[in-house]
Amino acid sequence: MGGDQGPATVVAGISRSAKKNPDVAFILHGPRDELERLVAKRRNLAGRCEIRDATDVVHMEDKPSHVMRHGTETSMWSALESVRNGEATVCVSCGNTGALMVLSMVRLKKLPGVNRPAIAVLWPSRNPHGFNVMLDVGADIRADAQDLLQYALMGASYARNGLALERPRIGLLNVGTEEHKGRAELKAAHDLIAANAEKARFDFVGFVEGGDIPGNRCDVIVTDGFTGNIALKTGEGTASLIGDLLKEAFEYTPLSRIAALLALTSLRRLKKRIDPRRVNGGVFLGLNGTVVKSHGAADATGVSAAVKLAFQLAQSGFSEKIAARLAAATSQLEDMKNEKDVAE
Amino acid sequence: MGGDQGPATVVAGISRSAKKNPDVAFILHGPRDELERLVAKRRNLAGRCEIRDATDVVHMEDKPSHVMRHGTETSMWSALESVRNGEATVCVSCGNTGALMVLSMVRLKKLPGVNRPAIAVLWPSRNPHGFNVMLDVGADIRADAQDLLQYALMGASYARNGLALERPRIGLLNVGTEEHKGRAELKAAHDLIAANAEKARFDFVGFVEGGDIPGNRCDVIVTDGFTGNIALKTGEGTASLIGDLLKEAFEYTPLSRIAALLALTSLRRLKKRIDPRRVNGGVFLGLNGTVVKSHGAADATGVSAAVKLAFQLAQSGFSEKIAARLAAATSQLEDMKNEKDVAE
């Protein structure tokens, strides 16, 4: 209910998904009357869509702490509840990111051993499969070395299950690729991640730079949520500026207008390749249950892309795989600590 | 001497500048024989180019600390020396950024009251004048609230003298525009910058996000050097990826190849608008003297753009203006502190 486009767009989106995927079913959360009216208009949703009445809505400007205390009647709360009690396999929301993160942490709880959950996004890149994974892009504004290691482990699992990469290449975002550069916690994280690469079946390429986020040096970019959020929005803003300038350029002369007509298919292909709606959906990692956060402004195509991603992750059983991976790394760290204690 | 393309490219670049601007003259630093041979090939440099013999070179992989101790015979050292002793008005270098920053700080010294100097770049944007200023993009990997205030003051001066903006709009980079978001030092910087806006003749628009870096909400984006460096390289990488995909799209079918021919002028216009070579040059702010850092991989066009920027800044007497502005802000801060002490 809390997305910028309202529930009609969400219903239009899930209707698209339902057409494409016969195995997906939905539980919608919000005012029953309104949702029943919207669903009734889409014949292909008949029998595939339950509704849970929720009268309240989390608004974009609501503070997460306020939602936590007073949000029990909201559609967001109800949606997470359905994952918590096992009715739904995964939650998709277009709402307030901060509130969704805090509610997810409180209601679904963090996986054992996870200190800070993370939000991972897919990023158009020069990789053969077309995308890189970046995390964290804004679940938390800080991360220590131990958190960055967990992001690497969770990101590797995501790349394996979401992008089907057997042995993902992990990079740690820094201001230079030389090992002497950057903040102290990054140097510590560098060594921790390197030590875990073999056991967790990923390749660690070391430090990477901003230019590698859309590049082909690695598949997963690990960073703190402050830096990741700035990078994500800078990339989106740059792409959007270039797109608009391109449009302007093609409208400049009669000749260029003809060119635009001739190149229409090629330009559409390019647009599709870098269209953020096609990779719509940040995934919350490190929780007991999967939550996919769609863009607040997502249209029906965007909602449908988020549902597709949610379905893939749910089917791969990826939440359980991350839990197992983190448990292994945690016990390894404990062993290392104990050995050190014994040695001392 | 230490740029990726070697001295021939630098000489080709200053030759372009010399053609366009009859008021510019050069002092070149490096091995005399080699430079004399290169300069002799360019007739328009005759009589406008002195040479200072410097036998050693700072390489891209040299650590700044090593250059500081053993670099007295390098061309970089010699170039900064000519600014220090007043022979040159401004220094332009394509070399190792870290070494150039450290040498600049040690040889030119920081302006009174400056804690951390900053590197400022111009960024293609939706602004009517086509560019935003962003700083710091990598002089230092951290910045406290006081440093961020100084970046705001220096960035405002740069926008006034480099972009001719009477009353620049300053934004502070954060992960959200709400005042309760972000790190503690950002909240403190927010209040400090707001308190100085009126006296320093700029408008403070408050927190801005990554998407505003190429946007039109502000003219100057203030951030720490770690975040700024990541954002800069993410933006460059994204633009470069889109450019390559665009090229691919136009080569895809015979029809799109014809379209590319028809749209050639329009596409060139676009390319020129976002060409990083046109705005080549990070400016070191906060020192006794102006230093312009060109891209290491700059070609002749890039070198010439950096020289143009250096000339503009030197002519506006902008180094002196920044010094005056910072002195005023520092004395204001002292006054505030004293008033507070008296009140307590």
* β-pairing verdict for A220-222 and A169-173: parallel
Query: What structural domains does chain A harbor?
Result: 1-113+286-344 (3.40.50.10950)
Answer for the pair A123, A291: CB distance below 8 angstroms, yes or no. no
| Three-state secondary structure string covering A273-299 | HHCHHHHCCEEEECECCEEEECCCCCC
Is the peptide bond preceding residue A136 cis, with omega within 30 degrees of 0? Answer: yes
Contact B266 A274 (CB under 8 A): no
Q: Which residues contact A6 (CB under 8 A, 6 or more apart)?
A: none
**Which runs of E-coded beta strand occur in B215-312?**
220-222, 282-285, 290-293
Element (H, E) at A17: helix A6-20
Nearest to A249 among B142, B227, B267 (CB): B267
Nearest C-alpha neighbor of B94 from the set B327, B331, B280, B336: B280
Question: Is residue B63 helix, strand or coil?
Answer: coil
Cβ contact, residue pair A237, B265, below 8 Å: no
Instruction: State the Cα–Cα distance between residues A289 and A296, nearest whole angstrom.
Output: 21
Region of residue B74 (phi > 0: left; psi between -120 and 50: alpha; otherwise: beta): beta
What pLDDT is recorded for position A180?
62
Query: Which amino acid is residue B40, in one-letter code?
Result: A
Q: Going along chain A, which residue ranges are E strands?
A: 26-30, 49-53, 90-93, 118-124, 131-135, 169-173, 203-208, 220-222, 282-285, 290-293
CB atoms within 10 A of CB B187: 17
Return phi, psi of residue A8, to 5°: -60, -40
- C-alpha distance from residue A158 to each of A116, A161, A303, A319, A320 (Å): 16, 5, 20, 9, 12
Chain B residues in contact with A210 (beta carbon < 8 A): 229-237
Percent with pLDDT over 90 in chain B: 58
What angle is formed at CA A320 by the lines to CA A102 and CA A156, rounded to 5 degrees? 85
Q: Which residues of B touch A263 (CB under 8 A)?
A: 249-250, 255-256, 259-260, 263
Which residue type occupies A67?
A: V
Q: Is A229–B175 a contact, with Cβ atoms under 8 angstroms apart?
A: yes
End-to-end CA, chain B: 57
- pLDDT given at position A39: 96
Helix (H, G, I), strand (E, B) or coil at B167: coil
Amino acid B279: pLDDT: 66
Q: Which two tokens stand for residue A289?
A: 């249950």
Q: B343 to each of B196, B332, B337, how far by Cα in Å?
A: 21, 16, 10
Summarised one tens digit per residue, pLDDT across range B113-125 is 888 999 999 888 8
Interface touch B249/A269, C-beta < 8 Å: yes
- Tell me which chain B residues have a C-beta less than 8 angstroms from the C-beta of A124: 241
pLDDT digits (tens, 9 = 90+) for B208-255: 999 999 999 999 999 999 999 999 999 988 888 888 888 887 777 777
CA distance A217 to chain B (A): 12
Note whether B238 contacts A138, CB cutoff 8 Å: no
Whether the bond into B136 is cis, omega within 30 of 0 = yes
Q: Who among B61, B239, B263 is closest to A263 (CB)?
A: B263
The 10s digit of each residue's pLDDT in B60-80 is 999 999 999 999 999 999 999
**Which pLDDT score is estimated for A344?**
45
| pLDDT exceeds 50 at position B93 | yes
Mean pLDDT of chain B: 88
B263-316 pLDDT tens trace: 777 777 777 776 666 666 789 999 999 999 998 888 999 999 999 989 988 888
Q: Find the radius of gyration of the CA atoms of chain A.
A: 21
User: Minimal CA–CA distance to A235: which of A259, A260, A213?
Assistant: A213
Token pair recorded at residue A157 = 């699992």
Question: Which of these, B22, B21, B38, lies nearest to B30 by C-alpha position?
Answer: B38
Name chain A contacts of B276, Cβ cutoff 8 Å.
none
Q: Block means of pLDDT (10 residues each) for chain A, length 344 residues?
A: 92 95 96 96 94 95 92 96 95 93 93 89 88 91 93 93 89 82 87 94 95 95 95 90 82 76 75 68 90 89 92 83 78 62 50
**Least CB–CB distance from B210: residue in A63, A231, A244:** A231
How many residues would you count in chain A? 344
b or e along B300-336 (b: 16 or more beta carbons within 10 Å of the residue's beta carbon)?
bbbbbbbbbbbbebbebebbeebbebbeebbeebeee
Spatial CA neighbour of B175 closest among A285, A254, A163, A141 = A141
- Confidence at residue A179, expressed as pLDDT on a 0 to 100 scale: 63
Give the Å distances, CA to CA, from A60 to A22, A97, B180, B208: 33, 8, 14, 17
pLDDT confidence of residue B140: 87
pLDDT exceeds cutoff 70 at B340: no
Nearest to A97, CA basis, from B172, B187, B238, B209: B209
A242/A261 Cα distance (integer angstroms): 19
Q: Which residue of B has its CA nearest to A227?
A: B227
Q: Do A211 and B240 touch (CB under 8 A)?
A: yes
